[in-house]
Amino acid sequence: MAQFLLQRLTISLLVAVTVSIIGFSLLRLSGDLAAELAGEDATAEEIAQVAKSYGLDRPFHIQYLDWVGKALQGDLGRSLFTNEPVLELITTRLPVTVQLATYSLILALLVALPLGVLAAMKQNTWIDRLALSIAVFGQAIPSFWFALLMILFFGVILRWLPISGTDTWRHFIMPTITLSTFAMPQFMRLTRTGMLDVLESDFIRTARAKGLSPMIVLWKHALRNAVLPVVSLAAVAFGFLIGGSFIVESIFAVNGVGFLALESIIRQDFPVVQSIVVFISFVYIVLTLLSDLINAQLDPRIRLN
Amino acid sequence: MTNDTANIPYSDESILAVRGMNVDIRVPAGTLHAVTNSAFHVDRGETLCIVGESGCGKSITSLAVMGLLPGNATVTADVLKFEGRDLLSMSQKQLSALRGNRMGMIFQDPMTSLNPVYTIGNQMQEIYVRHGKGNAAQAKDRAIYLLEKVGITAAESRLGQYPHQLSGGLRQRVMIAMMLMNDPVLIIADEPTTALDVTIQAQILHLLADLQKEFNMALILITHDLGVVARIADRVAVMYAGYMVETGSSDEVFNAPMHPYTQGLIDCIPIPGKTERGALLGSIPGIVPALVGDQEGCMFRNRCDFAQEVCGTGIIERKALGEQRGYRCVIGPEQAQANLQASRAQAAVAAGE
């Protein structure tokens, strides 16, 4: 187990370094930052001056090392727009994003796991088809449109729920439903196929030959084997919910990291954008590591090899 | 169908008694008659071997007894009694109270038959506790006792191990020990050595035979290895294409096989010291026919050297040669023995060339 952990940590560290280099260079490859910052009518002299004041005239690797060095000390630079420290900008917006992502993931799993298990047990019946229809609906419907429909129906017509902000738990209901509707189908499908595979396997026949009750066979012997891929997917999906909820955050005016990223891209606030890109990559790295550890806990073949 | 198996006697003491059992499986192409008019029984302390090649209904027969067939299978029988109780009228709940408790089953592939994510100890204790035999601590003691019985060293430390940490032979020993946890009266072993190394096969079979004697259980061994049958069977049932084509005591069947299929199977066994090195081993050409839809006549006629026109029509009646002994063929016993001698003589001539 210790060896497994060390191996995973080393890989994570290598990925983190690679990702930070890519994240840092992508922004610089996207165009001349100094020219963008100086404005459309700026002269060559003015552009050179902007480049100098932001350190953009130095060689690329110096810029990178300088940025990494400061980042390791918690200094991600300042926003060009508000002049606030970038770290502070991100950390103040992170809790609400994480909160929303967590609710959405939990809701998605709470619906997907039982539905997937049920669909597998009742394969090719109307229950199975209903579950698949729900999955297709969730995958096909665009999030922004679904969000707008909900706002129209529950917010404007019925006036049951607030349509923007994050002041109370009621504000979270519609954004959570929107995000989990998007995440749920893939969990459901993976649970269903996983269960179908496992239910066919020899050790399930053994469990039944032991006279175990159908509930024990299903929840103890089958599900634990079937959820292994779901755990990996959930980690990726959680990262996506944190980093990819731009649209949902802006529709419901949730002042989170996604919203900040969107604002900063529009304002060409490059220190913020670059930090968010790298930050979200790190979130993925941590989540992947976490899912590996959970899977190792669930499956001794991973843990003990 | 006229039922010519209903009158074969069995004792009230029989652990398992089956008469006139049919298993039909619904498949997209129609109905597959996997087992037709099957009859066998097994008493305490007795070993019954069901033999035949792949796809002839041996495993389906055992799964039908255990109540483990999938939902698209239908079992009907005149008699299907376990310890005197009718299995067909039992609910799934009543059946599962017997499974793993009074009757145990050992499967073909030990590599996949144990759950990879639970320890050996967990899986062994579970079957004991589920059937209300005692608490976890008592289950642990029993598990250690049985692991030692099946020849596993360092039994206590094995309890904490996972299946993937054990070899195939060890896993099959664990399966056997697990199925013995509740002191069953019947063990069904479905080709328990097919997936194992040849050197391990004999060990596992000896182990099963020893345990069967020690615990005075009824053992049904399903195999396609007649060499094994000759060594450990009390009685033999030969299956072909869903039919039990020949039944009898081990001695009777081996000394005077009546059905051409049984004769062919027996002549396929190489005999150490008698079968010459490099000599051609016997074989039965052809494959088991598909069993979808209604069938007429003898299923073996397309592969049979002695097939006649009459073999293709109607139902081949069972010829009774004694209380238990019988076979399903149009050829009478004297002629069957003459045919056997003739084909053996022919084979000897061919080998001498």
Q: Which of B158, B181, B204 is the last residue of a domain?
A: B181
CA–CA separation, A66 and A70 (whole Å)? 6
Same domain membership, residue B282 and residue B270: yes
Least confident of A10-24, A37-51, B302-316: A37-51
Contact assignment for A210 to B107 by CB distance below 8 Å = no
**pLDDT confidence tier of residue A8, bands split at 50, 70 and 90:** confident
Domain closes at, from B165, B181, B197:
B181
**Rounded to the nearest 5°, which phi and psi values hold at A203?**
-70, -20
Residue B114 is nearest to which of A203, A208, A213, comparing CB atoms?
A203
φ, ψ at B188 (rounded to 5°):
-110, 120
Which CATH fold topology does A86-268 show? Answer: MetI-like fold (1.10.3720)
> Which three-class secondary structure state does DSSP give residue A265?
helix
Q: What percent of chain A has pLDDT over 90?
A: 31
How far is residue B131 from each of residues B94, B125, B136, B181, B288, measured CA to CA in Å? 12, 10, 12, 10, 40
Q: Are B259 and B298 within 8 A, CB to CB?
A: no
A 34-93 residues inside an 8 A Cβ radius of B: none
Same domain as B208, residue B337:
yes
User: What is the average pLDDT score of chain B?
Assistant: 89
Regarding whether B311 and B334 lie in a shared domain, the answer is yes
Report the C-alpha gap between B44 and A150 in whole angstroms.
70
Structure tokens at B158: 């094995």
Using a 10 angstrom Cβ sphere, with 0-12 exposed, 13-18 middle and 19 or more buried, the burial of residue B55 is: middle
Question: Out of A6-10, A161-165, A256-260, B289-293, which region has the weakest mean confidence (pLDDT)?
Answer: B289-293
Map out the domains of chain A as residue ranges: 86-268
pLDDT digits (tens, 9 = 90+) for A197-218: 999 999 999 999 999 999 999 9
In this structure, the answer to whether residues B210 and B315 fall within a common structural domain is: yes
Q: Give start and end residues of each alpha helix (H) in B101-215.
A: 110-113, 120-130, 136-149, 155-158, 168-179, 198-214
Share of chain B above pLDDT 70, in %: 95
Q: Are B232 and B221 in contact (CB under 8 A)?
A: yes
Q: What are phi and psi of B279, to 5 degrees?
A: -70, 150
Q: What is the DSSP-derived secondary structure letter of residue B270?
A: -
| Number of domains observed in the structure of chain B | 2
Q: Beta partners for B21? A: B38
Which of A214, A221, A298 minimises the CB distance to B115?
A221
The pLDDT assigned to B104 comes to 95
Contacts of residue B319, defined as CB under 8 A and 6 or more positions apart, other chains included, come to B258, B326, B327, B328, B329, B332, B333
Within a domain: B63? yes
- In this complex, is the C-beta atom of A224 within 8 Å of any C-beta atom belonging to chain B? yes
Confidence check: pLDDT of A113 > 90? yes
Give CA separation, A149 vs A16, A153, A174, A182, in Å: 39, 6, 10, 15
Please check whether residue A2 touches B, CB under 8 A. Answer: no
Mean pLDDT value across residues A147-173: 86
| Predicted pLDDT of residue B279 | 66
What is the rounded CA–CA span in Å between residue B136 and residue B159?
13
Which range of A9-18, A27-36, B214-223 scores highest in mean pLDDT? It is B214-223
**Do residue B113 and residue A299 have CB atoms under 8 angstroms apart?**
no
| Of residues B210 and A83, more confidently modeled | B210
Q: What is the pTM of this model?
A: 0.83
Phi/psi zone of residue B21: left (φ > 0), alpha (ψ -120 to 50 degrees), beta?
beta
The Cα–Cα gap between B204 and B221 comes to 12
Chain A nearest-CA distance from B320, in A, is: 35
Asked whether the beta carbons of A172 and A96 are under 8 A apart, the reply is no
Which residues in chain B have Cβ-Cβ distances shorter than 8 Å to A212?
Answer: 96, 100, 126-127, 130
Tell whether the model's pLDDT for residue B274 goes beyond 70: no
Question: In which band, very low, low, confident or very high, does the pLDDT at B1 lie, cut at 50, 70 and 90?
Answer: very low
Assign residue B56 the CATH number of its domain. Answer: 3.40.50.300
Alpha helices in chain A (DSSP H): 2-29, 33-38, 44-53, 60-72, 86-121, 126-140, 143-150, 169-199, 202-209, 214-216, 223-226, 228-243, 246-251, 257-266, 270-298, 300-303
Give the per-residue pLDDT at A62. 87
Instruction: Grade residue B305 by pLDDT with cuts at 50, 70 and 90.
Output: confident
Looking at the complex, does the CB of residue B175 fall below 8 Å from at least one CB of chain A?
A: yes
Determine the structural domain holding residue B48 and report its residue range: 16-102+182-352
Token pair in block for residue B275: 């079968």
Q: What is the model's pLDDT at position B267?
A: 83
Per-residue pLDDT of A21-51, as tens digits, reads 888 887 777 777 777 777 777 788 888 888 8
Tell me the shortest Cα–Cα distance from B323 to chain A, in angstroms: 33
User: Could you say which of B166, B181, B196 is where a domain stops?
Assistant: B181
Task: Please choose, from the candidates B265, B225, B223, the residue with its C-alpha nearest in 3D space to the C-alpha of residue B246.
Answer: B265
Q: Is the CB of A298 inside 8 Å of chain B's CB atoms?
A: yes
C-alpha to C-alpha distance for A237 and B236, rounded to whole angstroms: 59
Q: Per the domain annotation, does B110 fall within a domain?
A: no
Q: What is the mean pLDDT of chain A?
A: 88
Contacts of B130 in chain A (CB under 8 A): 210-213, 216
Q: Are residues B278 and B311 in the same domain?
A: yes
Q: Is B1 within the bounds of a domain?
A: no
State whether A300 and B164 contact (CB < 8 Å): yes
- pLDDT tier, B353 (very low <50, low <70, confident <90, very high otherwise): low
CB atoms near residue B166 (< 10 Å): 19
Reduce the secondary structure of A53-83 to three states and give it as a string: HCCCCCCHHHHHHHHHHHHHCCCCCECCCCC
Q: What is the pLDDT of residue A166?
A: 79
Task: Give mean pLDDT, residues B63-74.
Answer: 92
Under 8 Å between Cβ of B169 and B203: yes
User: Distance, in angstroms, between A304 CA and closest chain B CA?
Assistant: 9
Residues B96, B169 within the same domain:
no
Which residue of B93, B94, B113, B188 to mutate against A (max A Cβ within 10 Å)? B113
Residues A153, A155, A161, A162, CA torsion sign? positive
pLDDT confidence tier of residue B49, bands split at 50, 70 and 90: very high
Question: Are B34 and B142 found together in one domain?
Answer: no
From the list B92, B130, B165, which residue is nearest A304 (CB)?
B165
Residue B98 lies in a domain: yes
Which of B100, B112, B118 is nearest residue A210 as measured by Cβ atoms? Answer: B100
Q: How confident is the model at residue A111 (pLDDT cuts 50, 70, 90)?
A: very high
- Residue B266: per-residue pLDDT: 87
Nearest to A202 among B97, B113, B130 (CB): B113
Does B78 map to a domain? yes
Q: Compute the distance between CA of residue A277 and CA of residue A262 in angstroms, rounded to an integer.
A: 12
Question: Mind listing the pLDDT tens digit for each residue in A53-71?
Answer: 878 888 888 888 888 888 8
pLDDT digits over A202-258, tens only?
999 999 999 999 999 999 999 999 998 999 899 989 988 887 678 888 888 888 888
Residues B342 and B238 occupy one common structural domain:
yes
Distance CA A17, CA A4 (A): 20
What is the Cα–Cα distance from A249 to A257, expressed in whole angstroms?
A: 9
Q: Cβ neighbours of residue B117 under 8 Å, at least 6 residues apart?
A: A224, A225, A298, A299, A300, B162
Average pLDDT estimate for B168-178: 95
Position with higher pLDDT, B277 vs B316: B316
Instruction: Tell me which chain A residues have a C-beta less than 8 angstroms from the C-beta of B109.
Output: 202
Q: Within a domain: residue B248?
A: yes
- Cα(A16)–Cα(A20) distance, integer angstroms: 6
Structure ipTM: 0.89
A210 vs B116, B127, B165: nearest CB? B127
* Helix (H), strand (E) at residue B246: strand B243-249
